[in-house]
Amino acid sequence: MSHRAQSTPCRWLRASLAIAFCAAAYAQAATFEVRVAKRDGQPLPGAVVTVERESAALGPAPPARAIMDQVNLAFAPDVLVIPVHSTIQFPNSDAVGHQVYSFSSARQFQLPLYRGKPYPPVQFDQPGVVTLGCNIHDNMLAYIVVTAAPWFGRADERGHWTAAEVPEGRYRVRVWHPLLNEPAGLERIVEVGTQPVTAEFRLTKTLRPAPLGSRPHSWDY
């Protein structure tokens, strides 16, 4: 029997084992839910949730191309959560000019006064929270959360956020909100197995008040 004939079953066996291993790993995944509540137990909609593996990092989600518009003298949306290395375009749908800027350490930039056709997209290569403003309209405010976590999002109106098929392991879960008043932030380590997991967060302090005179935002509760 030739060498090729001998090696073919071995290759088939290795491929079959690899498929079986991947199927087993895929099966060992669970639905992961995070629930966020205010100090009084009421839900906190709009809280940003990120879930990152403690060891054997899975890497961030693929970069995205997002849009943050300017409508009726406000950023739309006023909170964006994006994977690291993503880009955001800032069109101006208002009839007046805007000058978008950020002085945040995670990403500093400025788009000089413009309206209509936007500047080229801005890239965000460092994790962190980026605070946006407009040099012309002081009441315009928005946040960009740049994350290296493979799972992320914002809590719904019930204060819930869910990820499906999270592989078994230890994860660091972080919760962020523009008005959060917790001295050490909100984060914990959660073990994920093969059964659905729920992590509950409850604020120990009341939220900071929204700035006086500011227009309503998605985080005002």
At residue 212, the pLDDT reads 65
Average pLDDT over residues 109-121: 93
Q: ∠55-143-98 over CA atoms, to 5°?
A: 145
Average pLDDT over residues 12-26: 38
pLDDT digits (tens, 9 = 90+) for 209-221: 887 666 788 888 7
Tokens of 92: 């101006």
At residue 163, the pLDDT reads 96
User: Shortest CA distance to 116 belongs to which of 161, 69, 75, 74?
Assistant: 69
The count of residues in the chain is: 221
Check whether domain 60-147 has CATH 2.60.40.420, yes or no: yes
d(C-alpha 142, C-alpha 134), whole Å: 10
Q: ∠41-45-48 over CA atoms, to 5°?
A: 110
Q: pTM of the entire structure?
A: 0.84
Look at 58 and 179; give whichever has higher pLDDT.
Answer: 179
At residue 137, the pLDDT reads 94
DSSP per residue over 74-139, as a string?
Answer: SEESSEEEEETTEEEE--B-SSS-EEEEEEETTEEEEEEEE-BSPPSPEEE-S-EEEEEEESS-TT
Confidence of residue 2 (pLDDT cuts 50, 70, 90): very low
Taking 80 as the threshold, does the pLDDT of residue 23 lie above it? no
Answer yes or no: are the C-beta atoms of 37 and 203 closer than 8 Å.
yes
pLDDT digits (tens, 9 = 90+) for 91-101: 999 999 999 99
Delimit the CATH 2.60.40.420 region(s) of the chain.
60-147
CATH code of 28-57+152-212, in short, is 2.60.40.10
Delimit the CATH 2.60.40.10 region(s) of the chain.
28-57+152-212
